[in-house]
Structure 1
């Protein structure tokens, strides 16, 4: 509680400091023109993006799929972003991506639950920072995806209601109302969602060197349901000051099941079952004040965010040997309670000749309790245990950046200092460590012509282990088990990028070259012990990635357009062979193609909008594993049914090609596992726009107004 009071005191002191710093109440001068583009996911040069060289900005606008689904589904359609079938997010080929909503990091263990509670219709734009500058936490080792929600609405009461159902038995009910007055704006969204799928699963395991060898075949699947609610309030006492408050909560109930028959010619077979149950409850309170100066880009901002994340996990594991009268059953549980407090203070000060200076400070506090247990319910099983992990960490940070022009170059150097402290206690032992580091960054833009820019950047980053990664307690799930590693060291990365960007009217293209060298990379080591695959993180040395990503979009005709992208990179990484690390090289690649069709007037009743999208991910590799290539095709048809009703049909995985195959190769065993596609999924959604704004163009005009910097 002392830390909480301290943060509130700091927040109040910041407000007191901000208020007299800007005594005048004249409205700030807006810079740039409102950007106008067609209704699709496009590169959008907003006024903010036109002066900042460290990010790319995309808008959803009236994107057909975004209006009918949630941000977890939409995220993988953003250029440079890939979401795997397992829910892992990568950016420009890099993992460990930080996903934020309005600048606040979404906890990784709650990412899917939180994003499924955010309707695409409430998102204004998405900022992509593949090489984040010093302004952002150095822990964003894989880059940052910042989702910005709408903050301006039609005057009066308006909103969107949505109902959807799919062929797998899932359903969605959502409402997103808003009310806007002269000084006060209220908005929010709430809803219920549910979904499930089941697929065939099969594979083999060869225990080395002499067997036995097993074949396994069965089914696995999952289903979930949940609710979400978010309320936002914004108050502007005058044209230059803004107070905002946001309270959000969501609950997510996820259930996984698997039934596999294991057979062997040289050992007894068995029916192995797994039933996992995960329940998450997340709550977040955010308070913010922003004071704008008399000119554009002049602002001071303070923000306090408190979060609570409660996660309950259980895994019921069973094995019925062939011909046996009794089975072996045991239950593994884990309860995790995480509380965080983050306070940030940021200031931007413009200078003559389009220069500006940005500085700020941040404090982050985390407290986590993690209670785990295992008990045997019937027959034999692993040794029972009870464990209690307690973790605390604190990050103090300060940064400064300065953007200026030299000839045709725009240069943005920056530096960030972080003091990280952590304490972990478990089973009567306690470890404590502190790490102080300085992280430089540099972004340079060279304007080659009116339509072509060259951007070059460097950043230093760090990926610190989570509390779970440090805990030696073993957690079981079926014939797999995992634990942390108390000796795990943080991984550091030196990242270089060079990007050529072309833009003329509605045609744009970019070519990004990247070179990342990581030290003390963390990989997953697997060992077979007593028929159970044990996985734990280990530091595996150095990893190098060099590659190219190309993106292009443009019109094919008045009504047709395209977006195409490809990423290819060469990885030099360590594999584990016979207990020793060996370096190997492998090429990894991915590609996507999208075709869009839209009638010229999307507000006319009967207007159609079509999207065809194909995605391909090549094979990927880890310390001892390989994921096979994967390709999918999706289709979306959106039609305006009336002035206020819109119907959207989504067909995902049209050819049922979402088949996932993985291989694990160690000195102890070789295993190959395949999960078939559950089949094509069709979802139909009806959206109703109520209140003062029956036409989407009115909201777009508000979104396109020159944005007050930092808003």
Structure 2
């Protein structure tokens, strides 16, 4: 195509000079539009031909107009041609009496055969190892494994999604950051992943050891989800809807719309989740003289709405400005029960009933600007993101005791408000064909206000207690980074450093008034911290051959305490256990090392790796007696001694037959768990540790029955895990599903049966500080049926395709 265009322009110039010499002034003009959308089509080839040979020609402008001047006065054939459209031919005659031929508006029509969807999707997923990340190119096999990003990720090697809470973990660690198109999201990852359709995902990047470019939070790394970029003219979109049948049905729907006209691209997304989830469980406690059995359960009803509105304005081929806003509203309600039955007749059995109403409203506003310099690959990106989250909660606890009968009512009103501002500036400059420089700066400013009101009363009015706790927390982080990469022959290296200033300030006030004077409290405390830290990173990659590559990398990471981990306001409570934070908690630093080897064969690729983590001031759980209630334990957090973790993993992406492909992975982790437990006999706090070996394996098989029908079989096994207090029993499950393509490839119907044998549950057995056994159950066995459809028309705009090439740095047109 480029050669034809070059010849066309060359001939055009020659013909133009000849026409000028002869004094001829013939002109042909017109306008080209899309027949369906009625929108102008830029960069269409207009060829002027004589005797089947090109005489001259040109391209339509952004508004679809074209003008060809300097033509000899004779008869011509005009050919109008554009990729994906039917060719149009017209005859034109120029003469002394008619030197200008106006073709008026020409409507071109798309070819009958169109691409199914925005982009071509490969049959099966492929995995490639890059210098600082592992890239999973999502194919139809992964899309068939689920209709949401959450379900796809659960089939990606080394990634797990908790079936009940939807919490994401990488390499067995839940301290992982989620990015969408390289940008952070202020929406809870568990919720966000439920509202991104699987068909919208192009790639999944597993950055287990991020470079200095990324902020260093999250011990286990980063998962970056890259969405398909909509580069079509006109109006198009997709709809995704499904129902999950468990104890009660649950719905999950998403609508994506996109409209591009000229230099402006508008888009909107809407996601809806609604459903009730049930759970239950028990704990048997063999504490001497206090032997008991706790039974608990409940239902949670949640409805969430996620709306995104945005636009991209392509100022010219070098400059783009984008803006979007997210509006996320979640309404939740729940009721639960906890029954405690003691073996001893001297102890009173009890029951606690709970009722809660929660709201969460997050509004996000994002402005981005991108400039491409004249030098290829040299770019400047600016982004400013502001969000506010308001999440009130109201809970009632009714505590009943028998023999004698008594009732106590506790009401909790919680107000949480969070403001967050993030500003980024990133500059990339290829200094040569083999050297690339990256520099950037980032500022993050966060303020959290948490107010907790508690009222405790007894119907007899003999006891009343009113408390108020207020916690105001600010966190400011300012950073600067630089990366430089070099390639030579079979080697590539990237080295970088990130400098970061971390400042926090927190004020806590607690006031309690009670009819029992000894319970009156008037307490106020302050926490401050100011830390300057350096985070280096280093990556080596050696490509021994087309089939073999080796990768070594190192980076320093940090796990900063979250607001829930440091807030002294209690998070939840039962008659025997209460959870609260520790205001004195310090950040945890990790030095992470990795070595990976990738082998590519005719049937796919296999990657094996070993990693080692050196952890300083490790954050862990601590359990101690509530000084205000001897029958209640408090679960909190503390910093412990340094720790080490070593692990190995292997993953394979293989096509065993034309009709059968498989993604498989297994990993093993060796670590020492440290923490503080309370001695059951002396009641003293004691440090404890335990050596742990954890093993996980998963397989995802895809079978192609016909061009339209495919089946999926997924199985996973999560081996036993040992903590300081208990041993978690193995967990395993198997899912089966199928996908049928309809509507000429633009639609699909998916059905899936999860946890076929209903084996997925959490069970434990422990001996510290005393013997305990228990199990937790949720709606693991479910049946899902969903429908996905992509609609709209239009063909790719050349300018927009160019703007969209760098998928990793463009974040528009999708959920975020």
> Structure 2 length as normaliser, TM-score?
0.76
Candidates 112, 126, 131, aligned match of 2:209: 131
The residue number in structure 1 matching 2:649 is 549
Asked whether the equivalents of residues 195 and 252 of structure 2 are also in contact (C-alpha less than 8 Å), the reply is no
Work out the CA distance in 1 between the residues paired with 2:412 and 2:192.
25
Contact map agreement 2:705 2:711 (CA 8 A) in 1: no
The alpha-carbon deviation at position 62 of structure 1 amounts to: 4.2
Aligned with 2:305 (options 215, 227, 231): 227
Range that drifts further, 492-501 or 346-355: 346-355
Residue by residue over 1:421-479, the C-alpha shift from the partner in whole angstroms, topping out at 9 and shown as x without a partner, is 11111224333321111111101101121121111011111111123322223343333
CA contact (8 A) 2:565 2:582 kept: yes
Is contact 2:123-2:139 (8 Å) kept?
Answer: yes
Aligned to 1:148: 226
1:512 pairs with 2:612: no
Q: 1:381 to 1:389 in 2, by over 3 A?
A: farther
Preserved contact between residue 259 and residue 267 of structure 2 (Cα < 8 Å): yes
Alignment of 1:162-173 (within 5 A): 162-167=240-245, 168-173=248-253
User: Which of residues 568, 571, 593 in structure 1 aligns to 2:668?
Assistant: 568
Is residue 2:500 matched to residue 1:418?
yes
Matches within 5 A, 1:532-547: 532-547=632-647
User: Which residue of structure 2 aligns with residue 657 of structure 1?
Assistant: 759
Deviation at 1:637, TM superposition (A): 1.1
Partner Cα distance (1:575, 1:429) in 2: 25
> What secondary structure, in the 3-state scheme, does the structure 2 residue paired with 1:170 have?
strand
Does 1:594 pair with 2:700? yes
Q: Which moved more, 1:444-453 or 1:236-245?
A: 236-245
Counterpart of 1:11 in structure 2 is none
Counterpart in 2 of 1:688?
A: 789
Mapping of residues 147-546 of structure 1, within 5 Å: 147-167=225-245, 168-207=248-287, 210-266=288-344, 267-378=347-458, 384-427=466-509, 428-479=524-575, 480-504=577-601, 507-529=604-626, 530-546=630-646
SS in 2 for 1:658: coil
Secondary structure at the counterpart of residue 688 of structure 1: strand
Give the match for residue 23 of structure 1: none
User: Does the 8 Å contact 2:504/2:530 carry over to 1?
Assistant: yes
1:630: Cα distance to partner?
Answer: 1.1
Alpha carbons 1:117, 1:227 under 8 Å: kept: no
1:327 match: secondary structure: strand
* Secondary structure at 1:278 match in 2: strand
Per-residue Cα deviation, 1:46-103 (whole angstroms, up to 9, x for no partner): xxx8xx5111222335456569633233332222211224333221233311112233
| 1:704–1:685 Cα change, 3 Å | farther
Please give the alpha-carbon distance, in whole angstroms, between the structure 2 residues aligned to 1:350 and 1:709: 17
**Which residue of the partner structure matches residue 750 of structure 2?**
648
- Structure 1 residue 649 displacement after superposition: 0.8
Deviation at 1:214, TM superposition (A): 0.5
User: In 1, distance between residues paired with 2:476 and 2:383?
Assistant: 17
The answer on whether the counterparts of 1:332 and 1:476 sit within 8 Å (CA) in structure 2 is: no
**Deviations 1:246-296 (CA, angstroms, capped at 9, x unpaired):** 211111223343323322220222233233443211111111111123344
Q: Deviations over 1:179-236 (max 9, x none)?
A: 23342222221032212232442221233xx321111335334332111111231121
Cα deviation 1:102-143 (Å, max 9, x = unaligned): 3333458x2223332333333332221100010011223320
Partner residue, 2:122: 38
SS at match of 1:158: strand
C-alpha displacement at 1:665, in angstroms? 4.7
Q: 1:501 to 1:121 in 2, by over 3 A?
A: same
CA contact (8 A) 2:382 2:426 kept: yes
Hey, what's the Cα distance between the residues in 1 that align with 2:316 and 2:139? 28
Q: Which moved more, 1:143-152 or 1:507-516?
A: 143-152
Considering only aligned residues, what root-mean-square deviation do their CA atoms show, in Å? 2.8
Cα offset for 1:521? 0.7
Count of equivalent residues: 658
Quote how far apart the aligned CAs of 1:311 are.
1.7
Q: Which has the larger radius of gyration?
A: 2
Distance, in Å, in 2 between the alignment partners of 1:67 and 1:570 is: 30
The alpha-carbon distance between structure 1 residues 616 and 53, as it changes in their structure 2 partners (threshold 3 A), is: same
For residues 544-603 of structure 1, the C-alpha deviation after alignment (integer angstroms, 9 at most, x for no partner) is: 1111010001112112100100010111232435332233211011110010123564xx
* Match among 680, 691, 694 for residue 585 of structure 1: 691
Give the 3 Å change call, closer, same or farther, for CA 139–624 of structure 1 in structure 2. Answer: same
Report the Cα offset of residue 506 of structure 1.
5.4
SS of equivalent residue, structure 2 residue 391: strand
Residue 650 (structure 1) shift? 2.0
Aligned partners of 1:246, 1:66: CA distance in 2, in Å?
30
Query: 1:140/1:610 Cα in 2 relative to 1: closer, same or farther (>3 Å)?
Result: same
SS of corresponding position for 2:657: coil
- Matched residues in 2 for 1:566 and 1:642: separation? 38
Aligned residue among 164, 170, 173 for 1:91: 170
Distance 1:528 1:88, change over 3 A: farther
SS in 2 for 1:112: helix
Unpaired stretches in structure 1, ≥5 consecutive residues: 1-34, 602-606
Whether contact under 8 Å (2:121, 2:140) holds in the other structure is no
SS of 1:72's partner is helix
CA deviation after TM superposition for structure 1 residue 501, in Å? 1.3
More divergent stretch after superposition (490-499 vs 445-454) = 445-454
Partner of 2:95: none
**Structure 2 counterpart of 1:116, from 194, 205, 209:** 194
Asked if the contact 2:252/2:274 (under 8 Å) is kept, the reply is: yes
SS at match of 1:531: strand
Select between 274-283 and 297-306 the one with higher mean Cα deviation: 274-283
- Alpha carbons of structure 1 residues 685 and 553: separation in structure 2 relative to 1, 3 Å: same
Distance change (3 Å), C-alpha of 1:513 and 1:37: farther
Residue in 1 that maps onto 2:732: 631
Report the CA distance shift for 1:42/1:450 in structure 2 as closer, same or farther (over 3 A). Answer: closer
Q: Does the 8 Å contact 1:414/1:441 carry over to 2? A: yes
> How far apart, in 1, do the equivalents of 2:801 and 2:223 lie?
24
Q: How does 1:66-105 map to 2 (within 5 A)?
A: 69-85=147-163, 86-105=165-184
C-alpha deviation, 1:407, in angstroms: 4.6
Gap runs ≥5 in structure 2: 1-118, 510-523, 680-684, 811-816
Residue aligned with 2:608, SS: strand
CA contact (8 A) 1:329 1:381 kept: no
Offset of residue 482 of structure 1: 1.5
Deviation at 1:535, TM superposition (A): 0.7
TM-superposed deviation, 1:504: 4.1
Q: CA deviation at 1:350?
A: 0.7
1:89 to 1:165, Cα distance in 2 relative to 1, 3 A: closer
| 1:37–1:506 CA contact under 8 A, matched in 2 | no
